[in-house]
Amino acid sequence: MTRIRASMSSRILGIYLVVISVLQIALYLYLSSGSFDLELGSREFVDPRIGWSILGHSLLGWLTAIWVFAIGSAFVLGRKPFVTYISTELILGLPQIVAAIPYGLINWSEGEGIHQGITQIILAVLFTVIPITWAIYLAIYSNPKTGDQ
């Protein structure tokens, strides 16, 4: 991968991270407004960091959104904090994966919660699996000697 392509790819990753963090912050603002009324489920139905909510740490959901926004901004500005992002996303995203997959499969098998199950699996993929896989790929192929610059 050429340096220019790697730089553009990491900036696009940064834009992706900024967008998903802004979506997460907007969701939390909407949910905290008290006007959340969705027939299909509760807050967990649309929470991209459901694992932290299940663990009783809803504040950490906010902090993860702010952190991902900061890391995404660093990528957009041309920095390449691959090691920092990958290590923190493993910590911050692990409860999402651990909670979403069983939650999704249990709801899927019960039939009536199939929408919630599918939604949680999709959220886990969009907010954790895709960006961390993308970052690992870029870290390996854009600068094989070091992850951070």
pLDDT in tens, 2-18: 666 767 899 999 999 99
pLDDT in tens, 25-82: 888 887 777 665 554 445 556 777 766 665 555 677 788 889 999 999 999 999 989 9
Q: Is residue 94 within 8 Å of 49, Cβ to Cβ? A: no
Stronger pLDDT, 114 or 137, i.e. the higher one: 137
Long-range pairs, 88-93, Cβ under 8 A, ≥24: 89/128, 89/131, 89/132, 89/135, 90/132, 92/49, 92/60, 92/64, 92/67, 92/68, 93/127, 93/128, 93/132
The candidate with the shortest Cα–Cα distance to 83, out of 18, 16, 91, is 91
> Two tokens at 48?
């991209």
Q: Look at residue 111 and tell me whether its pLDDT is greater than 70.
A: no
Average pLDDT over residues 89-95: 83
Could you tell me the CA-to-CA distances from 8 to 75, 78, 101 in Å, in that order?
10, 9, 32
**The pLDDT value given to residue 84:** 93
Read off the pTM. Answer: 0.79
Give domain limits for the chain. Answer: 3-142
Cα gap 74→18, rounded to integer Å: 10
